[in-house]
Structure 1
Amino acid sequence: MQGKAQPRILHIIPSLIKGGAERLVCNIAQALVSNKLAEVMLIQLREGDDYAFLQRDFEHELIPSKLVPSLRGTWHRQTAELNKAIEDFRPDIIHSHLFEAEMVSRDTLFKGVAYFTHLHDNMPQFANLKLSNMLQKQTITNAYEKHWLVNQYRKCNNEFIAISKDAESYFKNTLPADLQKIHLLNNAIEVNRFLRKEKQVLDPEVLRMVSTGSLVNKKNQKFLVEVVKALNQQGKRVVLHILGDGPNRAAIEHEINASGLEDQIFLEGNVDQVERYLHQANFYVHPATYEPLGLVIIEAMAASLACVVLDGRGNRDIHQEGKNGFMIQNQDAKAFAQALVKLHNAPKLYEQITNYAVNYAADFDINKYVGKLMTIYLKSLKNKP
Structure 2
Amino acid sequence: MKKVLFVATVVKKHINVFHLPYLKWFKENGYETHVCARNDFDDPDELSIPFCDKYYDLPFERSPLKTKNINIYKQLKKIIKSNSYDLIHCHTPMGGVLTRLAAKSSRKNGTKVLYTAHGFHFFKGAPLRNWLLYYPIEKWLSKHTDCLITINREDYQTVKSKLKTVNINMVNGVGIDCSKFIPQTSETKVKIRREYGYSEQDFILIYAGELSYRKHQDLLIKAVSHLSNKIPNIKLLLIGEGDLLAQYKQQVTDLGLKEKVKFLGFRKDVSNLMLIADVSVSSSRQEGLPVNVMEAMATGLPLVVTDCRGNRDLVIDGENGFVVGIDDVDNFALSVEKLFFSDNTRYLFGRASLNMVETYSLSKVIEEMKGIYSKYI
TM-score range, shorter chain: 0.7 to 0.9
The percentage of counterpart residues that share the same residue type is 20
Structure 1 residues 276-312: Cα deviation after superposition (integer angstroms, max 9, x where no partner): 2212212111111212221110011112221111111
Contact 1:121 1:167 in 2 (8 A): yes
Q: Which residue of 2 aligns with 1:375?
A: 371
- 2-side partners of 1:275 and 1:210: how far apart? 11
SS at match of 1:230: helix
Q: Which residue of 2 aligns with 1:344?
A: 340
Structure 1 residues 13-62: Cα deviation after superposition (integer angstroms, max 9, x where no partner): 1212535x7622234434x259x456362413322148989943343513
- 1-side partners of 2:179 and 2:284: how far apart? 26
TM-score when normalising by structure 2? 0.80
Aligned AA for 1:301? M
- 2-side partners of 1:168 and 1:375: how far apart? 18
Structure 1 residues 241-278: Cα deviation after superposition (integer angstroms, max 9, x where no partner): 10111111111111111111100101111222211221
1:1-385 alignment, distance < 5 Å? 8-18=3-13, 23-30=17-24, 32=25, 36=28, 39=31, 41-49=33-41, 55-59=49-53, 61-64=55-58, 76-78=70-72, 82=76, 86=80, 91-106=85-100, 107-108=102-103, 109-110=105-106, 111-123=109-121, 149-150=141-142, 153=144, 158-172=146-160, 174-175=162-163, 177-179=164-166, 181-187=167-173, 188-196=175-183, 198-199=185-186, 205-381=201-377
1:230 to 1:145, Cα distance in 2 relative to 1, 3 A: closer
Structure 1 residues 131-172: Cα deviation after superposition (integer angstroms, max 9, x where no partner): x869xxx967x6885576355x1xxx5210001112223434
Shift of 1:341: 2.4
Deviates more, 1:341-350 or 1:296-305: 341-350
Shift of 1:174: 4.9
- 1-side partners of 2:135 and 2:281: how far apart? 37
1:100 to 1:195, Cα distance in 2 relative to 1, 3 A: same
Contact 1:122 1:171 in 2 (8 A): no
SS at match of 1:322: coil
TM-score when normalising by structure 1? 0.78
Shift of 1:119: 0.8
Aligned AA for 2:111? V
Shift of 1:120: 0.9
Aligned AA for 1:115? V
1:293 to 1:79, Cα distance in 2 relative to 1, 3 A: closer
Contact 2:5 2:35 in 1 (8 A): yes
Contact 1:65 1:79 in 2 (8 A): no
Contact 1:231 1:237 in 2 (8 A): no
Q: Which runs of 5+ in 2 are unaligned?
A: 191-198
Aligned residue pair count: 353
Contact 2:303 2:315 in 1 (8 A): no
Contact 2:208 2:240 in 1 (8 A): yes
Contact 1:217 1:248 in 2 (8 A): yes
SS at match of 1:326: strand
SS at match of 2:4: strand
Contact 2:26 2:33 in 1 (8 A): no
Aligned AA for 1:119? A
Contact 1:284 1:300 in 2 (8 A): yes
1:275 to 1:237, Cα distance in 2 relative to 1, 3 A: same
1:66 to 1:282, Cα distance in 2 relative to 1, 3 A: closer
Contact 1:15 1:49 in 2 (8 A): no
Shift of 1:375: 0.9
